[in-house]
Amino acid sequence: MKKSALIIGVFSFFQAFVFSQTKLTYSGDSSYKMVERTNLRRYVNGKYSGLTSREVRSFISRSDAPDGIRSSKSDRWYDGNFFVVEETLRNSQATMAGIHDAIPSVFKISADGKMTMISDNGYPTFRSFPSYTTEQLKPGDSWKGEGERAVDPMNKGIFTRIPILVRYTFEGAEVYKGENVYRIKAIWQTNYGFSNFDRDPKGDDSLRQATGGHKADIIVRQSTGEAILISDNVDETFTYTDGTQVNLKGTITMFTEYPPAIDRDKLIFALNRIAKADDKPKAGSTSGTGLAGGKGSGGGISGSSGSGAAIASAKGTSSGKGTTGTGGKSSGSTSSNSTISGFGGTGSSTGGKSSLSEKIASSKGSGTSPDGKPKNNMVFEETPAGIRLSVRDIKFKADSDEVLATEKSRLDEIAEVLKLAPNSQFLIEGHTAAVGKPQGEQALSVQRARRIAAELSNRGIAADRFICKGLGGTKPVASNSTDEGRAQNRRVEITILE
């Protein structure tokens, strides 16, 4: 009996030990919104020069691989729009830009979690962070992961990419704001410029060396591995070729912030009165119809299992009307519990919101003119980033951003619709016809996007709610070989970011 009891006791201990171990994994495959908030005390050559407080926001949406780039089925592509919304100077006065210019970013995440930048303008600033080990973990266990940071200490607009080797320590399980989470500690040293191998050939040539240290606290969901919060304590010194030293001390905090809820029924009804609805599945969306998401609680900046992970996030558990993730249209209008993941997995939703076509079918009017063409030469559609209104053949003065008076009624109608989303941000993308002048077309498309934002602002929508981006003639919706096609390509697209 004693021997039997001993065996049972040993087995029970072993069982408890095994089940107390955790394998950190990451799943997710949706668009997301991220906020990076920086509060750093700045010292130049040892003298305090002020507090740098900056907030960078981003809307990052699923997309297809760019034209001409080979991609495997497991790659997940993202198209991001970053913008600085606030800076606080030494006198503590906040300066807010009016209309924001988008800083574009295109990247992919491979099956192993590695982030590969295709269009890299410095954002996101943390890449492949945090990264997870494939080993089972218990509190106190550590592992190492490679990542990267993009820095611009002199605010030149030139970002230098610094490789980082991070040591992570698993702290264990806990409850954070009512949610079951894991806490992870991360620590690494900044060492840049001590050999030619770690220098960034596209970075700031005048940055000679960078040294210092980081200690980060990371909270991730137990269910998905998504990080709810990352708080990084920074103490770094950057030395330049002219002898200038810049020391930065403080915190960098990254977290997810959810767009405000909108009354989609009312919005779609209003859009359907002024534009044609296009309910065909869009590239870059999840399989099935509709979008994953809805306003949720929780969510965060997360890594992925494997060798590294991008900063990502997802909309979490939602109540009320959700949306469809993978697997087709949802049915019914009851409340839903929708768990939506970021990179690496699929979202799901029960109940939830009907698709765009179902809403249009239940609303009055077809949104189409009698000849079948887009009503008012406008089309609205679902995209991974939100509902997008495409305003075709918009009339500008030739080679100018001056809007002709004939557009007044369309702009009036558009402004009234956008007012139905009173707290949302709007992405305005300018497009031109392609006539063989790509640089001029690109510049003109930005100018026209900003002008449309200004026109809508004059109609009662706050200027700082607009994010502007120009794409020139790179994304035609019709042939550029005909006058009619070129007219369709001269357009602006307004996305209500969700």
Residues 38 and 250 sit within 8 Å (Cβ to Cβ):
yes
Give residue-wise pLDDT tens across range 247-281. Answer: 999 999 999 877 778 899 999 999 999 999 986 64
Instruction: Report angle CA 419, 392, 324 to the nearest 5 degrees.
Output: 60
Share the mean pLDDT of the chain: 79
| pLDDT over 70 (residue 202) | yes
Report which listed range, 110-124, 272-286, 332-346, 383-397, is most confident: 383-397
Residue 108 in this model has a pLDDT that exceeds 90: no
> What percent of the chain is modeled with pLDDT above 90?
52
Which phi and psi angles does 333 have, rounded to 5°? -130, 20
CATH number at residue 169: 2.30.230
Full-model pTM: 0.76
pLDDT above 60 for 240: yes
pLDDT of residue 489: 92
d(CA 328, CA 278): 17
Mean pLDDT across the stretch 368-397?
84
141 and 244 both lie in a single domain: yes
Q: What percent of the chain has pLDDT over 70?
A: 73
* C-beta neighbour count of 140 within 10 angstroms: 9
Domain assignment present for 336: no
CATH of the domain at 380: 3.30.1330.60
Whether 136 and 268 map to the same domain: the answer is: no
Phi, psi for residue 394 in degrees, rounded to 5: -75, 135
Split at pLDDT 50, 70, 90, the class of 422 is: very high
Whether the per-residue pLDDT at 346 is higher than 60: the answer is: no
3-class SS of residue 136 = coil
Asked whether residue 317 is domain-assigned, the answer is no
Identify whether residues 37 and 145 lie together within a single domain. yes
> pLDDT tens across 18-70, in order?
446 888 876 656 677 889 999 999 999 999 999 989 999 999 888 888 888 88
What value does the mean pLDDT take over residues 198-204?
A: 93
Domain count of the chain? 2
Domain check: are 285 and 198 in the same one? no
Co-location of 388 and 273 in the same domain: yes
Which of 169, 493, 451, 132 has the alpha carbon at shortest distance from 443? 451
pLDDT at 349 (0 to 100): 35
- Confidence band of 385 (pLDDT split at 50, 70, 90): confident
Q: Domain of 52?
A: 22-256
Give the pLDDT confidence score for residue 180 in this predicted structure: 93
Q: What is the pLDDT of residue 260?
A: 77
Looking at per-residue confidence, does 467 or 319 come out higher?
A: 467
- Considering 225, 256, 287, which residue would you say is the last residue of a domain? 256
SS3 452: helix
Is the pLDDT at 414 greater than 70? The verdict is yes
Average pLDDT over residues 169-192: 95
What confidence score (pLDDT) does residue 92 get? 42
